[in-house]
């Protein structure tokens, strides 16, 4: 008991560790060991007695010599003896105690994991005097909160001369731009420049793609060649793949990135016909953060 409780207390003391992630992990291990010990004392014996009850036989009446008086047992042993007798001679208490423990374990586990916020701050992994801290601070505390880009790779763009397909695409873009933190009129897409180049007013139900080649080769807009792939079909241009840049503010941590990317993925999943993939340079680390509570569980 001393070894197990000492180990648990030592791990729980790990919450004082300066790195938040390690402190949380140590606390989790300490609580796990503590609950395992409680399970061995209270939960497992009750289930074992319930599943394999012991028949109690009444002893034969016989004369016996008076036993010498024994020293008084410790209160904890008396409590455990009464608890064991109580469990072995009744059914409903076994059901009640077992159900109560299961409920408490399930409830606390659920409430705990819903409040877990896995996060990673690169400054926790760098020495205090590292010059890289300046770059991390600049990105985390200045750039991301004011302007953060998510790139959407659209592998199957709509048919821009088809009202149904194009309006469905505009609906997806509208949902992305309605996310919390989206910076109004700061997203980038070749369509915005194309409408400006051709004099469109921006609320068209279709796009006239006959002027696209003139647009994409124009000295002002030719940079879009790196973000659009197309092929010529007579006088018309067919877009085969493209990029959309979403602009957001208020992103202050890796966890904020994870939440934002999750929302973007949920939106594009509703429009599978466009095969859209939200991307950020740290999307791999974001996926790790999103999986931490489930892997730990």
- Is there a contact between 227 and 187 (Cβ–Cβ < 8 Å)? no
List, in order, residues 6 or more apart from 17 with CB less than 8 Å away: 23, 26
The pLDDT score that the predictor gives to residue 244 is 95
Q: What is the CA radius of gyration of the chain?
A: 33
> Which pLDDT does position 3 carry in this prediction?
60
Q: Any idea where the domains of the chain sit in the sequence?
A: 2-53+75-114, 134-296
**Residue-level pLDDT at 252:** 84
pLDDT in tens, 129-148: 888 888 888 888 888 888 89
Handedness of CA 271, 275, 279, 285 (dihedral sign): positive
How far apart CA 92 and CA 46 sit, in angstroms, is 11
Spatial distance between the Cα atoms of 66 and 233, rounded to a whole number of angstroms: 110
How far is the first Cα of the chain from the last one, in angstroms, to the nearest whole number?
Answer: 26
The 10s digit of each residue's pLDDT in 55-98 is 666 666 666 566 555 555 567 777 777 777 777 777 777 778 77
What backbone phi and psi angles, to 5 degrees, belong to 244? -130, 130
In degrees, rounded to 5, the angle at the alpha carbon of residue 276 between the alpha carbons of residues 214 and 142 is 90
Backbone torsions φ then ψ of 95, nearest 5 degrees: -60, -45
CA distance 183 to 148: 9
Reported confidence tier of residue 179, pLDDT bands at 50, 70, 90: very high
The strand pair at 148-154 and 236-248 is best described as antiparallel
Q: How sure is the predictor about 284, in pLDDT bands with cuts at 50, 70 and 90?
A: confident
Whether the CB-CB separation of 82 and 44 falls below 8 Å is answered with no
Between 7 and 253, the more confident residue is 253
Burial 208-232 (b: 16+ CB within 10 A, else e): ebeebeebbeeeebeebeebbebee
Q: Which of 8-12, 37-41, 47-51 has the lowest mean pLDDT?
A: 47-51
Q: In this structure, what token pair is assigned to residue 5?
A: 């409780």
CB count in 10 Å sphere of residue 75: 8
Q: What is each CA distance from 3 to 9, 25, 42, 205, 253, in whole angstroms?
A: 10, 20, 18, 73, 39
What is the chain's mean pLDDT, rounded?
A: 81
Length of the chain: 297
């Amino acid at each position: 008991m001393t070894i197990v409780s000492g180990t648990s207390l030592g791990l729980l003391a790990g919450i004082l560790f300066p790195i938040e992630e390690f402190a949380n992990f140590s606390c989790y291990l300490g609580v796990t060991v503590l609950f395992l010990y409680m399970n061995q004392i209270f939960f497992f014996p009750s289930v074992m007695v319930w599943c394999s009850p012991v028949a109690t036989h009444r002893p034969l009446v016989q004369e016996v010599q008076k036993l010498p008086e024994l020293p008084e047992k410790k209160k904890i042993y008396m409590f455990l003896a009464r608890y064991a007798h109580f469990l072995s001679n009744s059914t409903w208490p076994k059901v009640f105690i077992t159900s109560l423990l299961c409920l408490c374990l399930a409830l606390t586990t659920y409430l705990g994991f819903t409040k877990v916020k896995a996060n990673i701050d690169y400054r926790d992994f760098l020495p205090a005097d590292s010059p890289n801290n300046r770059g991390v601070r600049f990105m985390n505390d200045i750039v991301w909160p004011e302007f953060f880009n998510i790139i959407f790779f659209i592998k199957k763009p709509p048919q821009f001369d088809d009202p149904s397909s194009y309006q469905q695409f505009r609906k997806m873009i509208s949902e992305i731009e309605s996310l919390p933190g989206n910076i109004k009129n700061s997203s980038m897409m070749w369509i915005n420049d194309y409408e400006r180049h051709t004099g469109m007013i921006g609320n068209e139900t279709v796009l006239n793609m006959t002027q696209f080649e003139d647009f994409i080769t124009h000295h002002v807009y030719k940079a879009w060649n790196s973000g659009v792939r197309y092929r010529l079909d007579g006088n018309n241009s067919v877009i085969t793949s493209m990029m959309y840049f979403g602009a957001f503010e208020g992103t202050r941590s890796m966890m904020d990135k994870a939440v934002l990317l999750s929302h973007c993925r949920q939106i594009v999943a509703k429009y599978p016909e466009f095969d859209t993939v939200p991307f950020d340079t740290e999307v791999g680390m974001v996926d790790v953060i999103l999986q931490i509570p489930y892997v730990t569980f």
